[in-house]
C-alpha cells in the first residue's frame, strides 16, 4: 500500500513517516491511498481540511498516477468519519516507503543491451518494460545531444500480490540455450499503427516514382546513343552546326460558353457593302 500527501501547491509526495495507515492520516490534509490488495485508489479527505484546491488536486493526481502506471483501479472518495468497512480494514496495514533499488548486475546489463538492440518491434507497438530473473525494469526515454535513446531503469513501484496485465500488453521471450533470459513487455497503440501505415504508403509511392524515373533515364540514354551518329551524319551532309527543333503547332480549342454553344472569333469581312443609296461603304 502506498500513501501520497497532497500539498497546498497542488503537487504530491510519497509519505515515508509512520508504519501503518492509521499513523499517517491527519485531519487537515488530503491523501491518495493505493490499496494494491483491493485494487482501489482511495482519496481520503480530513474533517478540518478547508482547502478546496487540495480536494480538486486529489482527483486530478489520482487519475494521473493510475494512467502513468497503467493500473485499472477504481477511484473512491472518502470523508473522515464516513469510511466504509473495507477502508477500515486497511487502517492497520503497513505503508510502503521509498527504497533505493540495487544496481543491476553485469549479466542484467548485457541482457538489457541485447533487448534494446533488437529493433524488430511491430509497427503498432512500443517497448514498455522487461523482466530479468526477479527484477522488473521500465523503459525510459533519455535525450542525449538532441538524440532520443531508450534505457531500462529498475521499477520502484510494483503492486503486491497477483497483478493482471492490461489487454493492450504483448509479451515476448528471449531464450538462450533452452533458458529464458528475459521477458519483454510491449504495449499496443492504434495511433502508432495508423501513422506507420501512412509512412508505408508514402514509401511505396516514392519507390514507384523512383522506378519510373530510372526507366525514363535509361530509355533517354538509349535513344541518345542511337541518335548521335545520325545527327552527326546529318550535320556533315548539310553543313549544319546546330539543329533547332521545330515548334509544334498547337491548335486553339474552342471555348464553351455557359449556354452550351461554342464561341468563335468573328473575322472582319474585307468585302465592301453597298448602302441603299448605292454608295459603297467600307
Q: What is the pLDDT of residues 188-211, one digit of tens each?
A: 776 655 444 456 667 777 778 888
Q: How far apart are CA 110 and CA 119, in angstroms?
A: 16
What's the confidence (pLDDT) of residue 44?
A: 92
Question: How high is the pLDDT of residue 274?
Answer: 53
Task: Confirm whether pTM is higher than 0.75.
Answer: no
Nearest Cα to Cα of residue 92 among 215, 217, 162, 1: 1
CATH 3.40.20.10 corresponds to the domain 2-89:
yes
Q: Among 97, 150, 113, 154, which residue's Cα sits nearest to residue 131?
A: 154
Beta bridge partners, 31, equal 5, 44
Beta strands per DSSP E along 166-272: 169-176, 179-188, 255-256, 262-263
pLDDT of residue 100: 46
Q: Which candidate, 137, 141, 139, 142, places its Cα nearest to that of 155?
A: 137
Task: Give the pLDDT of the chain (282 residues) as one tens digit per residue.
Answer: 888 988 888 888 888 888 888 888 988 889 999 888 788 899 999 888 877 888 888 888 888 888 777 677 889 999 988 888 889 888 888 887 654 455 556 666 777 677 766 656 777 788 788 888 778 887 777 665 567 777 777 776 666 677 777 777 888 888 888 888 888 888 877 665 544 445 666 777 777 888 888 888 888 888 888 888 887 887 777 777 666 666 655 555 555 555 555 455 555 555 555 555 555 555
The alpha carbons of the chain give a radius of gyration, in whole angstroms, of 40
Contacts of 254 (CB under 8 A, 6+ apart): 262, 263, 264
Give the model confidence (pLDDT) of 227-236 as tens digits. Answer: 888 878 877 7
State pLDDT tens for residues 125-156. Answer: 887 888 887 788 877 776 655 677 777 777 76
- Return d(Cα 6, Cα 28) in angstroms, integer: 11
Instruction: Note the maximum CA span of the chain.
Output: 128
Q: List all residues 6 or more positions away from 215 whose beta carbon is below 8 Å from its beta carbon.
A: none
User: Alpha-carbon distance 157 to 96, whole Å?
Assistant: 9
pLDDT reported for residue 31: 92
Q: How far is CA 102 from the centre of its chain?
A: 32
Question: What pLDDT, on a 0 to 100 scale, did the predictor assign at position 99?
Answer: 45
Take residue 113 and report the three cell numbers written for it: 543491451
Q: Can you give the length of the chain in residues?
A: 282
Amino acid at each position: 500500500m502506498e500513501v501520497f500527501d497532497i500539498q497546498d501547491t497542488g503537487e504530491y509526495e510519497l509519505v515515508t513517516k509512520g508504519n501503518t495507515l492509521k499513523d499517517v492520516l491527519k485531519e487537515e490534509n488530503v491523501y491518495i491511498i493505493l490499496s494494491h490488495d483491493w485494487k482501489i485508489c482511495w482519496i481520503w479527505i480530513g474533517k478540518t481540511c478547508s482547502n478546496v484546491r487540495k480536494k480538486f488536486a486529489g482527483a486530478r493526481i489520482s487519475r494521473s498516477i493510475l494512467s502513468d502506471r497503467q493500473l485499472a483501479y477504481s477511484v473512491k472518495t472518502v470523508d473522515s468519519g464516513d469510511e466504509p468497512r473495507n477502508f477500515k480494514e486497511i487502517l492497520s496495514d503497513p505503508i510502503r516507503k521509498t527504497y533505493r533499488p540495487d544496481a543491476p548486475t553485469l549479466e542484467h546489463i548485457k541482457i538489457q543491451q541485447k533487448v534494446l538492440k533488437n529493433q524488430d518491434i511491430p509497427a503498432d507497438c512500443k517497448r514498455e518494460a522487461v523482466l530479468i530473473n526477479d527484477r522488473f525494469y521500465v523503459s525510459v526515454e533519455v535525450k542525449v545531444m538532441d538524440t532520443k535513446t531508450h534505457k531500462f531503469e529498475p521499477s520502484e513501484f510494483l503492486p503486491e500480490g497477483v497483478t493482471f496485465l492490461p489487454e493492450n500488453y504483448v509479451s515476448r521471450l528471449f531464450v538462450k540455450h533452452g533458458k529464458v533470459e528475459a521477458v519483454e513487455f510491449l504495449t499496443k497503440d492504434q495511433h502508432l499503427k495508423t501513422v506507420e501505415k501512412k509512412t508505408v504508403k508514402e514509401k511505396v509511392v516514392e519507390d514507384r516514382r523512383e522506378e519510373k524515373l530510372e526507366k525514363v533515364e535509361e530509355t533517354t540514354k538509349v535513344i541518345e546513343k542511337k541518335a548521335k551518329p545520325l545527327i552527326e551524319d546529318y550535320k556533315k551532309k548539310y553543313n549544319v552546326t546546330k539543329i533547332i527543333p521545330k515548334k509544334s503547332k498547337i491548335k486553339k480549342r474552342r471555348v464553351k460558353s455557359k449556354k452550351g454553344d461554342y464561341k468563335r472569333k468573328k473575322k472582319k469581312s474585307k468585302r465592301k457593302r453597298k448602302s441603299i443609296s448605292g454608295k459603297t461603304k467600307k
